[in-house]
Each structure stands twice: as C-alpha cells, then as structure tokens.
A = this chain, B = another copy of it.
C-alpha cells in the first residue's frame, strides 16, 4: 500500500500541561503526528479559565502560523490532527471540540471510533440535547456535562462507562488535562515528561521532537489526570487490552514506540517472518517506499537477497494535484513513485509492500517495474490479507472494495500480474508482534472484533458490500 489511498487513520492527539508556550508545543507535537491525519488540525488552549480554540482544514504547518498561535495563550493545551472520510470531510468535524458546560469549558480530542454513539445520541436528543457536529466524539462531552458526579474525574469515568468502542482521549478543562483510553486499549496513547511538565501523545515521535521523555502508556481502562506532581490515575473499567496490530503494520511512524514496542522492530520482524514463510528465487529485494522499507530490510536480511532502492518516491506529493486531461500510463502511481531502471533492469525482483487494499495500485506498480526491465516480480506483503472493515477508528474501504475479501490469493496474484504473491500469516504476524491473538485486535485480518459491534455500525459495512 505504502501511500494514501487505502487505509487512513482517523486521528492523532496531543496534550501538554503547565508549560510555557503550551500551544507552540502542541503545534510541534501535531507536526510530528501529521501522518495520523492530514485533513484538519486544531489546538485548544486554556487561559484564565477560558478555552480558546483554532481549527482549520489543512496540514498543521499550513493551518498554524505565528498569528494563529498567538491567539492561543496559556500554559495548558491540547491538539488534534484528523483524517476523516470523504462524506464528513468538513471543518465542522475538526477537533478539539469545545463546549461551555456547567463545569466550565471542556475541550476534547479523540482518536478512535465509538460503536454505540448513534444510540446514545438518539437518547440525548430525546432529552433536548443540541448537537453541533456529526462526530461521535460529541456524545462524550454531553455525557460528562450531564453526569452528577461530584468531581470532573468522576464525571469523565461515568461518561466513559456509557460509551463503547475505541477511544484514546485528551480532555482539556479548568482542572487541566485528562487522558483516557478504552478498556481494550485499541488506539495508542503515551505519557511523557518535558522539563517537569506532563505531556501526552498518540505516538512517542511527538515526544522526541519536543524533547520530552517517554514515561509510560495510558493503560487500557485508565483515566490519567496530568498534573505538575505527575500522573494521577483513575480506573473506569477493567482492562482487556487488545491493541491494534495495524498500527505496527502501517500507521505509526517507525521511529515511535507504540504499545511499548518499537514499530521499526516489528516491521523488520514481519519482513523476516515473511522471508521464511514465502521465500523467493530473486536478485533484489525492493521496498515500496516509505512504509515497506523496514519489512523489505527484514526480508533481505533473512533471505540474504540484496536490498535495493528500485522505486523512488516523490515527496512533494500530498498537496492538491491537477490530473492531466490526457491519458498517461500508470499516472496516478507515477506522481508518487518512479522506478529506477538501473536497479531493476534484467533482475528478478522481490517487491515488499505492507498491505494490498484494492489491488489497483499494486497492479500499476508491478507493471511499472516490469516496464523498467525487471524479469520477474515477486510480491511479498508484510501482513495477512485485509478482509474486514475496521470499526475502531481506521477509515477502511468497505468489504466490497477490499480485494482480499472477495478473491483468493491466486486470483489477486493474477490481478496484479505478479510472478508470485505471498502474504504474511496471522500467526507469523502475531509472533513478530509478540502478542497472542486474544491480546491483539486483528479484526481487519481475521474478522475477530474484540469489542462487540452494534447492528447500526454493521449496516454501514453490509450496505456497502451490496454494491
């Protein structure tokens, strides 16, 4: 897969407490988390008991300039980057969301997806509640505002007991920041310390950029109150802990620690396993950059076939791009990737990618490499076939669009026109990930959903299947 067009994570979140230039640090944190959401960016900061927020469609560096950051004074701030699905792609749904409540202003940034949001919303609307977004996150603030619990921590705990699904939350209030993670801990959320100030982020790469030290993860089922004196912990649910393996396969940055593990190490491990499960007679191992890099290195290492950079990525991609009116062969892929003839000409190539979504991109890449002179192209995928929709915060195509949900491996091989095709097995993946099936969310590969899905959520998936 290796570049946008397939899976897209919904969000990255960040928070910093009791520090000078809090909004500026939030900006840097979001900058490091940019890969988790490229559609909108927002920061909310607390000063004198009031929360100011700025949200806009676009990249972090485009949304925030000096002027905008200067409108976010205060020593405590949270931030959010979002990649939303086409339909709901609008400023209205950008986060952090901020509301005035009886407990003072509350800001919230959410990574994940609630599976019972519609049901709760209907109940709240019946009681006269007003909604301003179509986002599932808004119900959480309503529940907090309605709780009669004496403390805000208690109100948050009550609210989180009512919602189900995946949520890594950062909540801004007059009492500072609360960070929380669902009982399954599906999405990541890490705690750190920067010059005595507590910080929280989706991935540790945000800590690296701002010079913070990684302390520990927010635990599944835990609410952490970030204070100058450290991390005050509250439990709101019994932890089950089934972190999403796909974070390691594709989403997270390789230089991050996610769920306490190095992402780069996981990927290199997937590649080594893949080499053992699906060896190939070949001359070079070529990654689909950038996400296939570590897996390809692992494959090369294990197979002793030389690693080679046979595809170059154009790093200016990501901005608006005007399609040519004329037909240009493999155009969509070429804007992003170009083969290096010198490297692949006359060679038997092992092409390592992290996943295959619809198959159309893989097909173009294989053809492009053949046209650059490769004799054979053996495709190796560093994860199992992706056959199921994610309901926990990753924006996957519907089952009807997922090629592996509808075709056999051999059919896929034919479709992408590879000389051979091998996927990493679920066992191999889990082995390299270092966690057993029951302690991992592998739903997109196995269809085993650790949090029960409501009928309403399912419908989406089936409706689209029908197409």
Query: Which chain B residues lie closer than 8 Å to A20 at the CB level?
Result: 325-326
Q: Which of B211, B262, B293, B341 is in CB contact (< 8 Å) with A262?
A: B341
> In the complex, are the beta carbons of A254 and B27 less than 8 A apart?
no
Among candidates B100, B328, B343, residue contacting A130 with C-beta atoms closer than 8 Å:
B100
Q: A1 on the interface (CB 8 Å rule)?
A: no
- Annotate A75-98 by CB proximity to B: 1 below 8 A, 0 otherwise: 000000000000000000000001
Q: Is A403 an interface residue (CB 8 A)?
A: no
Cα(A69)–Cα(B62), bound, Å = 23
**Contact partners of A297 in chain B: CB under 8 A:** 307-309
Q: CB distance B301 to A306 under 8 Å?
A: yes
Within 8 A of B (CB), among A29-61: 31-32, 34-35, 59-61
Instruction: Tell me the bound Cα distance from A80 to B208 in angstroms.
Output: 38
Contact of A324 among B25, B127, B340, B341 (CB under 8 A): B25
Q: Which residues of B contact A251 (CB under 8 A)?
A: none
Q: CB distance B209 to A334 under 8 Å?
A: yes
Which of A138-146, A215-223, A392-400 lies at the binding interface?
A138-146
User: Does A152 interact with chain B (Cβ within 8 Å)?
Assistant: no
Closest to A308 in B: B297
Is A151 among interface residues, defined by CB-CB distance under 8 A?
no
The residue in chain B whose Cβ has the minimal distance to the Cβ of A327 is B211
Give A429 Cβ to nearest chain B Cβ, in Å: 18
A419 part of interface (Cβ distance < 8 Å): no
Which of A129, A205, A294 has most chain B Cβ within 10 Å? A129
Chain B residue at minimum C-beta to C-beta distance from A265: B342
Whether a CB of chain B sits under 8 angstroms from the CB of A314 is: yes
Are A338 and B205 in contact, with the CB atoms below 8 A? yes
Quick check: is A227 within 8 A (CB to CB) of the other chain?
Answer: no
* A374-396 Cβ-contact flags toward B at 8 Å (1 or 0): 00000000000000000000000
Distance to closest chain B CB from A37 (angstroms): 12
A340-B32 contact given A102-B125, A128-B142, CB 8 Å threshold: no
| A264 neighbours in B (Cβ, 8 Å) | 309, 340, 342-343
A339 contacts chain B at the CB level, 8 A cutoff: yes
* Cα–Cα distance between A350 and B69 once the two chains are bound (Å): 40
A262 and B340 CA atoms in complex are apart in Å by: 8
- Mark each residue of chain A from 295 to 321: 1 if its CB lies under 8 Å from any CB of chain B, else 0: 001000100001111001011101111
CA distance in complex: A42, B312 (Å): 25
Chain A 1-41 near chain B by CB (<8 Å), digits 1 or 0: 00000000000000000001100110110011011000000
When A101-B125, A255-B340 are in contact, do A316 and B209 touch as well, CB less than 8 Å? no
Establish whether residues A307 and B307, one from each chain, have CB atoms under 8 Å apart when the complex forms.
yes
A210 close to B (CB within 8 Å): yes
A253 at the interface (CB under 8 A from B): yes
Which residue in chain B gives the minimum CB-CB distance to A155? B128
In the bound complex, residues from chain B placing their C-beta under 8 Å from that of A309 are 254, 264, 293-294, 297
Q: Are B146 and A322 in contact (CB under 8 A)?
A: no
The answer to whether A320 and B65 touch (CB under 8 A), given A338-B255, A342-B265, is yes
Query: Within the assembled complex, what's the spacing in Å between the Cα atoms of A264 and B205?
Result: 30
Residue A467 at the B interface, CB < 8 A? no
| A-B contacts besides A25-B324, A102-B129, 12 pairs, CB < 8 Å | A21-B324, A24-B324, A34-B316, A61-B319, A99-B132, A101-B131, A102-B128, A128-B146, A205-B338, A253-B312, A264-B340, A265-B342
